[in-house]
Amino acid sequence: MNEKVAISDASKQTFCGCPECIEFGGPNPRIMFARLLIVAAQFMVATLGLVRQRSWKALLWLVEALAFFAFVPRKLICCRCEGYGKNCYSLCLGKITSLYLSKGSGEVNPLGAGLEVIALCIIGVTPAVGMRRNKKNLTLYLLLSITTLAFQFSHACRHCAMNATDWKKGCPAAMAARHVFA
C-alpha cells in the first residue's frame, strides 16, 4: 500500500512550489483544456474564413508560419527546457514537442524567443488581413484571438511572473505580468 502512495507522489513532478503545480503536477488541466479549445476554435475560424474568402496567399502564409513555429522555436526553446515532455503552462508545448522532436542539449536559446514572437505575429495577423472583407468572421476571429492572449497572459505569464526562478523570470511578458498582478 505504501509503495502505491510513493509511486503516485513520485509521478507528480512539480515545476515549482506553487499550489497549482503541487496539486496537479503542472498547470490546471481544466484551464489548459479550455485554452486548447479556444486556440483550436481560433484556427478553425481562421482556416474556414480564409478558404471562404479564397485568400490563398494568406492561408499559405498561415500554414508556413505554423510550420515554422512548430519546429524552429520549439527546437531552440522547448527541446532544451526543463518542461520538455511535461505539461507546461505554454499550451502544453513541452509535452506536444516531445512527441515529434528529440530532447536537445544546452540551455534555452534566446534567439528562439525572438523567432517565436515573429512567427506568432504572422500567425495572429495573417488571418485578420485575409478576412478583412468578411466582418462577421473577422470579428469572431479577433474575439477568439483576444481571449487566447488573455488566457496566456493571465495563466502562463502570471505563473512565470510569480514563480519562475530561471530564464523565464526575465521574459518580457512575465515582467509585465509582475506589474499587473503584483
Total residues belonging to the chain? 182
Report yes or no on 36 lying in a domain: yes
Report how many domains make up the chain: 1
Q: Which helix (H) or strand (E) holds 8?
A: helix 2-11
65-107 pLDDT per residue, tens = 999 999 999 999 889 988 889 888 888 888 999 999 999 888 8
The domain containing residue 57 runs over which residues? 19-134
Report yes or no on 51 lying in a domain: yes
What is the pLDDT, as a whole number, of residue 4?
40
Question: Is pLDDT above 50 for 181?
Answer: yes
What is the pLDDT, as a whole number, of residue 97?
92
Report yes or no on 154 lying in a domain: no
Report yes or no on 83 lying in a domain: yes
Report yes or no on 42 lying in a domain: yes
What is the pLDDT, as a whole number, of residue 89?
87
Angle (nearest 5°) at CA 160 between 159 and 163: 80
Report yes or no on 46 lying in a domain: yes
Report yes or no on 147 lying in a domain: no
Q: Exposed, middle or buried: residue 90 (CB in 10 Å: 0-12, 13-18, 19+)? A: buried
Report yes or no on 8 lying in a domain: no
In the chain, pLDDT over 70 holds for what percent of residues? 92
Contact by Cβ (8 Å): 14, 26: yes
